[in-house]
Structure 1
Amino acid sequence: MDNRTKKTNNKRFVRYPEGAEMYSMSLSKFQQLAKDAKACYKMNRLVLVNLDILDEYLETFHIEDEEFYK
């Protein structure tokens, strides 16, 4: 893992484009996910996403059904 990746993974707040890249999804999907998670902070025209809140929200989609993995 290079230094840039380590630094990015330790961030608590990111802008939409960076978050979309980190989570390997489209920008529009990441924006909607962040809004659904209520993880957005807006200061004038700057929007930051709290990754701690987003990760907690993502855990609600964790599939625990053993049948799914067969």
Structure 2
Amino acid sequence: MERAKRKKFVRYAEGAELYSMGLTKFQELAKDAKACYKINQLVLVNLDVIDEYLETFRITEDSFYK
């Protein structure tokens, strides 16, 4: 999804679908990234924070890609 047109905040289920991962794994990722906003019983996840956090896991070693 083009960055300019996508939502900034999503619920867990929508985020898991956007990132093609299971709900529990996305919840864990969001919490580890400290990307959660809680409003009463509603939890929203900031996708910009998630993207920044995911970049820390990028594999840059050439040996991985051989």
TM-score by length of 1: 0.87
TM-score by length of 2: 0.92
- Matched residue pairs, number? 64
Task: List per-residue Cα deviations over 1:1-45 (Å, max 9, x = no partner).
Answer: xxxx66xx6110000000000000000000000000000000000
- Tell me how far apart the structure 2 counterparts of residues 45 and 69 of structure 1 sit (CA, whole Å): 43
- In percent, how many aligned pairs have the same letter? 70
Please list every run of at least 4 consecutive aligned residues from structure 1 whose deviation after the TM superposition is greater than 2 angstroms: none
- Tell me how far apart the structure 1 counterparts of residues 61 and 30 of structure 2 sit (CA, whole Å): 25
Q: Which runs of 5+ in 1 are unaligned?
A: none
Question: 1:41 is matched with which residue?
Answer: 37
Q: Which runs of 5+ in 2 are unaligned?
A: none
Question: Secondary structure, in 3 states, of the residue corresponding to 2:60?
Answer: coil
